Amino acid sequence: MAKETTNPGGKPDWALTRRERKAKARAEAGLPPKKRRWWIVALVVVIVAGAAGWWYQTGGKAVVEEQIAAYQTQQDEAAAQAEAEAQAARDAKAAEVPVMQLTPSELLEIAPRRLRETVKVTGSLAPRQQLHLSAEVSARVDTVAVRAGDTVDEGQLLVQLDVETLSNQLEQQRASAEATRAQLKLARNQLERTQSLVDRGLSPPTELEAGQANVEQLEASLAAQEKQVENAERSLDHARVEAPFAGAIAERSVDPGSYVATGSPLLTLVDLSSLEFEATVPVSYAPAIEKDQPVELTVEGVRDREFRGRVERISPVAIQGSRMLPVYVGIDNPGGVLRGGMFASGQLILEQKDEAIGIPAQAVREDKEGRFVLVRDGDHVRRRAVEIARDWDGGRMVEIAEGLEPGDVIVAEPLSQLRAGYEISIVEE
C-alpha cells in the first residue's frame, strides 16, 4: 500500500488548493516560490481613486448632481402619475351608481290606513244561552220527541210524561174541594140562621160562636184544597215539556218508558244563534280593557272567515297562578257555523285610528341627520326625512306625522345594502 505524502502545513495531496499545488510543483522543480506583487494592486487602486477625486473636483460633481436631480424628477413624475391614475379610478368608481333588484313585496305604496293597538286573546266558545231541562213531576216517560243534535222551535214538544195518574190526582183534588165548598155553603147558611136567633134572644151567643168557628175552619180547608187543585193542574201541565226557546238539543238523558222523579235530568237545550267567547288576556292589560271593545277572531276548523264580537264582561279577578284575566266576548253566529267548545284566537282592539299614514317600523332608517325613509323616484331611491307621531301594534307600525303623502312608494324592508341614490330595478317574485 502506497504511503500518503504529507506536505508542509500537514495537508495531504488531496486537500491542497490549486495555488498550493502550483507552489508544490515549483518546489519539486527546484524553482523559487512565486512572489506576490500586492504593491502593484495597491498602486492601481490609489491611481484610480486619485483620478476619480480629480474628476469629481474639476466638474464631475455637477454631472453627478445633475444625474441625481434628473432621477429624482423622474421618480416624482412617476409617483404623481400613479396617484392621478388611482384618483381617476376612485372617481370613476364613485361615479358608478349601483343597480339593485327589488321585488314588489319589498316596496310599499303609501295610503291612509287604520292603525291599531291590540292584544292577543285565546280561548274557547260556549253557547250564551244553555238550559238543562229536568222533570218537575214524578211520572213515567211516555214520549221523547227529539234526539241530540235536533233543532227545535220555541214551544215545541220535547218530552211527554204519563198524564193518567196526574189527571186522576187532579180529579180527586177537585172533588175534595167541591165537597168542602158545599159544606162551607151549608155552614154559612146555618151561621146566618143562628145569628138571627141570637139577635131575637132565642138562642145563646155560644151557638153563634161555634157556627162562626165552623165556617172559618171550612174556609181554611177549602183554600188548602183549591191550592192542591192548582198544584195538580200545574203538575199536569208540567207533564208536557216544551222548548222554552229555539235552539238545538245538546244532550238527551231519558228514553220512553223510564220513570223519572222530580229533578231528574231530561234534556240539555242550547241556543247557538249567539255564542260567548271565554278569552284570557295578560293581567297587565287590565287597565286598558273596557266593555264594548271590539274583538276579531279566527276559529279553528272554520277557514278563511273572520268573526267579530264585543267585550260584554270582564272578570274582576285573574286566574290564580297564571296571571291571566278572563274576558267574556259575545259573538253572533249567523247560519250556526260555530259550535260550543271550539277553540278561537284573535285580537282585542284596545285603540285604533282611521285614515292615518302608517308604515312598518323597519322601513324607518336613522343617521346623524335624523330619521328618514328611502322613497322611489323613477329608477332610483332618494332620502326623505320623516317625523314620527307614535308607534302602534306593539311597535311594529309607526304613524308618520310629516314627510310622506298618499301615493309615495317607499322601501319597506330593512335592506342594509341599499343606499340613497342607488338605481333600482323591479323584478317579479
Q: How far apart are CA 229 and CA 212, in angstroms?
A: 26
158: pLDDT strictly greater than 50: yes
Could you tell me if 425 and 101 are in contact, meaning their C-beta atoms sit under 8 angstroms apart?
A: yes
Q: Same domain for 161 and 229? A: yes
Whether residue 315 lies inside any domain: the answer is: no
Predicted pLDDT of residue 147: 92
> Exposure of 65 by Cβ count < 10 A (0-12 exposed, 13-18 middle, 19+ buried)?
exposed
Q: Same domain for 361 and 378? A: yes
Q: Which of 178-182, 345-349, 366-370 has the lowest mean pLDDT?
A: 178-182
Q: Report pLDDT digits (tens) over 384-405.
A: 999 999 998 888 899 999 989 9
Q: Same domain for 92 and 149? A: no
36: pLDDT strictly greater than 60: no
Q: Same domain for 89 and 192? A: no
Predicted pLDDT of residue 112: 92
Q: Which of 58-67, 129-138, 296-305, 338-347 has the lowest mean pLDDT?
A: 58-67
Q: Same domain for 141 and 158? A: yes
CATH code: domain of residue 228: 1.10.287
Mean of pLDDT over the chain = 81
Give the DSSP H or E segment for 127: strand 113-134
Whether residue 246 lies inside any domain: the answer is: yes
> For the chain, how big is the Rg over CA atoms in Å?
59
Q: Of 252, 268, 300, which residue sits at a domain end? A: 252
Nearest residue to 334 (alpha-carbon basis) of 273, 248, 246: 273
pLDDT band at 335 (very low <50, low <70, confident <90, very high): confident
Whether residue 125 lies inside any domain: the answer is: no
Q: How far apart are CA 344 and CA 327, in angstroms?
A: 13
**Across 198-219, average pLDDT:** 74
Q: Report pLDDT digits (tens) over 227-268.
A: 877 776 777 777 788 889 888 898 999 999 888 888 899 999
Q: Same domain for 368 and 379? A: yes
Q: Which of 28-42, 141-155, 241-255, 273-287 has the lowest mean pLDDT?
A: 28-42
Q: Report pLDDT digits (tens) over 174-195.
A: 787 778 788 878 878 777 777 7
**Across 340-362, average pLDDT:** 91
Q: Of 48, 69, 96, which residue sits at a domain end? A: 96
Predicted pLDDT of residue 3: 45
43: pLDDT strictly greater than 90: no
1: pLDDT strictly greater than 50: no
Report the percent of the chain where pLDDT is more than 90: 25
Beta bridge partners of residue 373, listed in sequence order: 384
Predicted pLDDT of residue 409: 92
Q: Same domain for 207 and 141? A: yes
Whether residue 348 lies inside any domain: the answer is: no
Beta bridge partners of residue 331, listed in sequence order: 275, 309
Q: Same domain for 91 and 166? A: no
Q: Of 231, 252, 273, which residue sits at a domain end? A: 252
Give the range of the structural domain holding residue 387, as residue numbers without chain letter: 99-112+357-426
Beta bridge partners of residue 172, listed in sequence order: none
The 157-161 sheet, strands edge to edge:
240-242, 157-161, 139-144, 259-260
Whether residue 369 lies inside any domain: the answer is: yes
Strands 99-102 and 324-332 come out as unpaired
Q: Report pLDDT digits (tens) over 51-104.
A: 666 655 665 556 556 666 776 777 777 777 877 777 766 665 555 557 888 888
Q: Report pLDDT digits (tens) over 413-427.
A: 988 888 888 888 888
Predicted pLDDT of residue 374: 92
CATH code: domain of residue 380: 2.40.420.20
Whether residue 225 lies inside any domain: the answer is: yes
Q: How far apart are CA 285 and CA 323, in angstroms?
A: 11
Whether residue 224 lies inside any domain: the answer is: yes
Q: 16 or 354, which is more confident?
A: 354
Q: Same domain for 146 and 238? A: yes
417: which residues sit within 8 A by CB, 6+ positions away? Answer: 100
Q: How many separate domains does the chain show?
A: 3
Whether residue 238 lies inside any domain: the answer is: yes
